């Protein structure tokens, strides 16, 4: 029962952003903690120059903000809120496995990161990025107004439900073009890290002879991680695009109005949904299965979640000429779906 209650809570909280809502205030976006919104209209952004003399952290709850080397605060750091340390930040996105991801980097702190040229000697800054025991140098000459930025493009780990820690620190680079020598000096206390997660694996099979959609979904990364819920959603092709339809086959546009079922138990190796097309007219449809995974602790509480992943299957419903208006066709619905699919391939 306890797990079921947490399951319901988990579904309800799916759209919640990283920085939680509190009273009339909320952080601006799900990418991080970039500011505060007042009553959904007026916005106050984190400002690394500190020019507005206001700290957005005074509004709302910032406990869930991602960690930088100046703490769980504004991103970018706002000097009006206190010390920014060395002002280094990193953003590593969640992803599906073995896909390109961009690690975003920035550094700013007063006059610490000024680019200069004196004779043959040039001073500039680079980021050193750490990932799974490897490290990469990200050269950067885009230091403007004492702020440096860079992007490191990597591939996410080729494993599902895996947590990877990405780290970075900033280096001062001095290059002498006369002698050709280059020296690198790490800026003290500039190390910063962020964990990113890969989504579970998921694959949906086409309708079988029993009118079942079967979904294979699994984790093979972090110990204890598992796919514990699959949602089945339906859409119908209307014109050039697919549109949501509800379980009665009618168009709808609210969140989850096209949800057909939730499955939190496997039948054998699959999450299974038996599709009944009684409420659906002839046409082209798409079923999407979304997999959700997390780790439970010893008490059955959700300890860690992973990003969702999904797969879709397109199919056709053809009940005969009278089917669009609910005629008396009594043949095999599965056979007609399969035959209609074959016709479209010829």
Q: Is residue 4 part of a domain?
A: no
For the chain, how many structural domains are there in total?
Answer: 3
Q: How far is CA 61 from CA 32, 68, 87, 265, in A?
A: 13, 17, 22, 36
Q: Is residue 179 part of a domain?
A: yes
**C-alpha–C-alpha distance, residues 275 and 101, integer Å:** 37
**Who has greater pLDDT, 244 or 8?**
244
pLDDT tens for each residue of 157-204? 999 999 999 999 999 999 999 999 999 999 998 898 889 999 999 999
Evaluate whether 336 touches 320 at the Cβ level (below 8 Å): yes
Asked if 50 and 147 sit in the same domain, the reply is: no
Residue at a domain's end among 34, 69, 84 = 84
Asked if 40 and 58 sit in the same domain, the reply is: yes
Residue at a domain's end among 198, 214, 244 = 198
Q: Is residue 326 part of a domain?
A: yes
Preceding amide of 76 cis, omega within 30:
yes
Asked if 299 and 320 sit in the same domain, the reply is: yes
What tokens appear for 247 in the block? 């379980």
pLDDT tens for each residue of 52-92? 888 998 888 887 776 677 777 787 788 888 888 888 888 89
**Who has greater pLDDT, 90 or 40?**
90
Asked if 213 and 318 sit in the same domain, the reply is: yes
Q: 340 falls in which pLDDT band (50, 70, 90)?
A: very low
Residue 41 is predicted with a pLDDT of: 64
Domain that holds residue 152: 86-198
Q: Is pLDDT above 90 for 339?
A: no
Q: 141 falls in which pLDDT band (50, 70, 90)?
A: low
Q: Is residue 1 part of a domain?
A: no
**C-alpha–C-alpha distance, residues 15 and 13, integer Å:** 6
Q: Is residue 11 part of a domain?
A: no
What tokens appear for 22 in the block? 């509190």
**Residue of 249, 241, 262 whose CA lies nearest to 317:** 249
Asked if 44 and 172 sit in the same domain, the reply is: no
Asked if 210 and 261 sit in the same domain, the reply is: yes
Residue at a domain's end among 198, 215, 242 = 198
**Who has greater pLDDT, 332 or 286?**
286
Question: Going by DSSP bridges, is the β-strand pair 259-263/226-238 parallel, antiparallel, or unpaired?
Answer: antiparallel
Neighbours of 45 (CB within 10 A): 15
Find the CATH number of the domain harbouring 173: 2.60.40
**Residue of 91, 160, 96, 161 whose CA lies nearest to 129:** 91
Residue 14 is predicted with a pLDDT of: 41
């Amino acid at each position: 029962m306890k797990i079921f209650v947490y399951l319901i809570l988990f579904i309800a909280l799916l759209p919640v952003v990283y920085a939680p809502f509190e009273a009339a205030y909320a952080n601006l976006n799900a990418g991080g903690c970039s500011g505060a919104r007042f009553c959904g209209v007026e916005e106050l952004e984190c400002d690394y120059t500190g020019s507005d003399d206001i700290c957005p952290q005074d509004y709302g709850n910032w406990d869930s903000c991602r960690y930088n080397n100046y703490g769980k605060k504004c991103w970018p750091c706002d000097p009006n809120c206190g010390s920014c340390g060395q002002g280094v930040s990193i953003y590593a996105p969640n992803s599906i496995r073995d896909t390109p991801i961009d690690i975003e980097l920035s550094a700013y702190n007063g006059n610490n990161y000024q680019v200069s040229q004196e004779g043959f000697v040039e001073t500039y800054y680079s980021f050193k990025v750490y990932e799974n025991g490897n490290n990469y140098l990200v050269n950067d000459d885009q230091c403007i107004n004492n702020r440096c930025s860079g992007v490191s493009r990597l591939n996410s780990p080729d494993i599902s439900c895996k947590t990877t820690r990405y780290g970075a620190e900033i280096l001062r680079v001095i290059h002498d073009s006369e002698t050709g020598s280059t020296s690198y000096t790490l800026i003290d206390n500039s190390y910063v890290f962020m964990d990113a997660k890969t989504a579970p694996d998921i694959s949906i099979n086409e309708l079988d002879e029993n009118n079942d959609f079967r979904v294979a979904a699994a984790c093979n990364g972090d110990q204890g991680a598992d796919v514990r819920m699959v949602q089945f959603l339906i859409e119908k092709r209307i014109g050039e695009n697919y549109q949501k339809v509800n379980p009665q086959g009618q168009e709808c546009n609210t969140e989850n109005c096209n949800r057909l079922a939730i499955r939190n138990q496997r039948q054998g190796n699959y999450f299974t949904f038996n599709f009944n097309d009684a409420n659906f007219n002839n046409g082209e449809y798409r079923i999407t299965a979304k997999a959700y995974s997390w780790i439970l602790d010893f008490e059955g509480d959700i300890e860690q979640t992973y990003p969702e992943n999904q797969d879709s299957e397109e199919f056709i419903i053809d009940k005969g000429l009278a089917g669009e208006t609910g005629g008396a066709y009594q043949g095999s619905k599965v056979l007609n779906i399969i035959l209609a699919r074959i016709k479209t391939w010829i």
